[in-house]
Structures are given as C-alpha cells and as structure tokens.
Amino acid sequence: MRDFPSCFGENGVQIADASSSSSSSGVPTTTSTNRNAQNLVTCVYQCKLHSSCFTITTTWTKTIMGQGLSVEIDDSSTQSHCKLEIKPWLFSKRRGFKTLEMGSNSIDVFWDLSSAKFGSSPEPIEGFYFAITVNQELILLLGDMEKEVYKKMNHVIATSPNAVFVSKKEHVFGKKAYATTAQFCGKGQVHDILIECDTISTNDPCLLIRIDGKVVLQVKRLRWKFRGNCTILIDGLPVEVYWDVYGWFFGNFMGNAVFLFQTCLSAEKLWGLDDSVMSWSTSLVKSQGLGFSLVLCAWKNE
C-alpha cells in the first residue's frame, strides 16, 4: 500500500487549514478544530486561454452570519494573482459584477445567487450562475443559468470555456453517515457519494462507501485497518480511494477522518495539451499528472 499521508503532503492535495489553531504539542485542540470545521467547500479549476494557464479557486462558506464566497485567480505565465471576497449575504447583494486587474489582464466576475438552491453544503445546487472572463473572453462558467449569463455579458467574445475541474475539498458532518456529490470526469455524471461507519454502537466497526447507492468499498476490522487505499471504477475510469480514520478512534473528541478520491486521468489528456502549458497550483500533484481529486474531511457530530 502506498504511504497514505504522503498523498496529502508536499506532492499532494493539502488537507490542513492554514487558519487551524494548535495546542503546544502541535495537535489541533478540540475547540479550535471544531470552530474551523465549518461548512466549507473549496474547488479548483484549471483554465487555458491562448498562451496563459489560469488556476481559479472558489471557496463557498456557510456561517451563522450567512453564506459567502471567495475567489482566487492565479496566472502561471505572469505569476500574477488577484482575489475577490463576496461576504456573507446578510450584508451583501446576492447578484453583482466586479472588475479586477491582474497584471495586464482585465478580469470580470459576474454572479447571480438570488434564486440559488442549496442542500446541506454551502455550494449551490441550482438556480445560479458564476462566471469569470479575462479580457472579455469567458474562461469559467458555473451554474445552470447559461442563457442569463450571456444576456448579462453581451460584450463577451463568444467562446466556450474550457475549464477543467481538478480538485474539490469539503467538510462533511454526521453521526454515522457522510454525504456529498462529485463529478469525476469533465461534464460527466454527478454522482452521490455516501460514507457509512458506526464507531459507537459496535465493537467491530465496518466502513462502507457507496456511489449512487451501490457499495464500492467495504473495510472490515476498521480499528486495525484505519488507513488504506484501493482502486474502484467510476464512469469506467479507475479512481484511487484513500482513507484515514485514525482520528475517529484515537484522536480527540470530535476528531475527523479524511477520504481522498483521486482519478488517474491527467489534465494533459483532458485538454490534449503539452506539458509546457501546464502549471499546477501548489495543492496539486505536478509529477503524477492527476485528473480530479476529491478530499472529504468527515467530522462526527456526537
């Protein structure tokens, strides 16, 4: 088995929050960990425009103050960076437009979340759009209101965005079950993911992972197999699944487990591009050519 922690380290998806507080021993305290384990979904997209490669990171949040969104845009060709904060909607409009300058590029950000529908996640499900243009060329379009986007941006050059969804990190909460959704291949099917594990009422916990209701992974004697990995098939693609549930059994109260779903397709294959135009963000593997990575931090609500 490959070393599980290494896939989240320097050459993998970073799972630690920079804002997390720690005790003097370096282990996050129960209070600080619980506070930082707020509803949070971070998505990373790679977008190519002419000779430039942009990394766009969206972070959807939900707090007692409302729901918010932050966006970071990096241009690898010029090493330039810009950031936009859409504060919790209790104090901010749910639709808007913002122009940002990033090096020699003019960035326009459009959003309409006034009719957005949500599930348990802070990321909207439908009834919204979020779009980004660079020098009046569309590079990213999220949501199901495509017609409204183009009406709003009538000056935008008619191009189809080629963004590749490369990474998603989410905090999920539950007692025995933890649910989310993921799209593992381009514009492919959105799958329901359910992780089930009862660590309280049984002496021999078993880990189950279901994709669209079908069991794709079962781990028995979990106390002895609290870290591991295996390969499953989703949409005909091999997906490596890593799990680390040490925190559920041996960590502090309210400890979390970590799950990683990692496709084996490279972004070069998704784009059909040369290595010369690829520039990964620090959270993605450069050498292994990963396609899509889903990181779930599963917190127990006892």
**Judgement on whether residues 137 and 195 belong to the same structural domain of the protein:** no
- pLDDT (tens digit per residue) in 79-107: 889 999 987 776 667 888 899 999 888 99
Alpha helices in 16-170 (DSSP H): 30-36, 146-152
Q: Are residues 221 and 114 in the same domain?
A: no
Collapse the DSSP code of 24 into the 3-class scheme (helix H, G, I; strand E, B; otherwise coil) and give the result: coil
Q: What is the largest CA-CA distance in the chain?
A: 63
Residue 168 inside a domain? The answer is no
Residue 61 in any domain: the answer is yes
Contact 233, 239 (CB under 8 A): yes
217-222, Cβ contacts within 8 angstroms, sequence gap of 24 or more = 217/241, 219/243, 222/197, 222/249
Residue 32 falls within a domain, yes or no? no
* Most confidently predicted of 122-131, 154-163, 287-296: 122-131
Q: What is the pLDDT of residue 11?
A: 28
Which residue, among 75, 97, 78, has the nearest Cα to 86 in the 3D structure?
Answer: 97
Q: pLDDT tens across 187-206, in order?
A: 678 899 999 998 887 888 99
Starting from the edge strand earliest in sequence, which strands make up the sheet with 80-86, in order?
Answer: 80-86, 66-75, 52-63, 39-49, 164-174, 293-300, 256-263, 237-244, 227-234
268 pLDDT band, cuts 50/70/90, is: very low
If asked whether residues 267 and 210 sit together in one domain, one would say yes
Do 123 and 61 lie in a common domain? Answer: yes
Query: What is the distance between the alpha carbons of residues 32 and 185, in angstroms, rounded to a whole number?
Result: 35
Q: Are residues 199 and 145 in the same domain?
A: no
Establish if 43 belongs to a structural domain: yes
Q: Is the pLDDT of residue 254 over 80?
A: no
Report yes or no on 20 lying in a domain: no
Q: Pick from 130, 162, 194: which residue ends a domain?
A: 162
Q: What does the pLDDT read at residue 35?
A: 41
| Residue 301 sits in the same domain as residue 209 | yes
- pTM higher than 0.85 for the full model? no
Q: Where are the alpha helices (DSSP H) in the chain?
A: 30-36, 146-152, 246-250, 267-271
Cβ atoms of 13 and 167 closer than 8 Å = yes
Q: Are residues 278 and 208 in the same domain?
A: yes
User: What is the phi/psi pair of residue 277, to 5°?
Assistant: -100, 0
Q: Write down the pLDDT at residue 109.
A: 92
Q: Are residues 1 and 66 in the same domain?
A: no
Count structural domains, the chain: 2
The model's pLDDT over 168-181, given as tens digits with 9 standing for 90+, comes to: 999 998 889 999 99
Q: Is residue 206 part of a domain?
A: yes
Give a yes or no: residue 177 inside a domain: yes
Tell me, yes or no, whether 141 and 225 share the same domain. no
> Does 116 reside within a domain?
yes
So what's the pLDDT on residue 195?
96
What is the strand order of the sheet 129-134 is part of? 95-102, 105-112, 129-134, 137-143
- For residue 98, count other CB atoms closer than 10 A to its CB: 12
Residue 170 main-chain phi, psi, to 5 deg: -145, 140
Distance CA 27, CA 210 (A): 31
pLDDT digit string, tens, across residues 225-239: 999 999 999 888 889
The larger pLDDT score, comparing residue 293 to residue 252, is at 293
Are 189 and 298 in a shared domain? yes
Q: Which of 115, 140, 162 is the last residue of a domain?
A: 162
- Residue 211 CA to residue 241 CA, distance in Å, equals 12
Domain coverage including residue 145: 37-162
Residue 23 · residue 10 · CB < 8 Å: no
Cβ contacts of residue 226 below 8 Å, gap of 6+?
Answer: 243, 244, 245, 246, 248, 249, 250
Write down which residue in 142, 162, 182 finishes a domain: 162
- Claim to verify: residue 112 and residue 228 sit in the same structural domain: no
E-state strands within the chain: 39-49, 52-63, 66-75, 80-86, 95-102, 105-112, 129-134, 137-143, 164-174, 177-182, 191-197, 207-211, 214-219, 227-234, 237-244, 256-263, 293-300
| Same domain for 203 and 95 | no
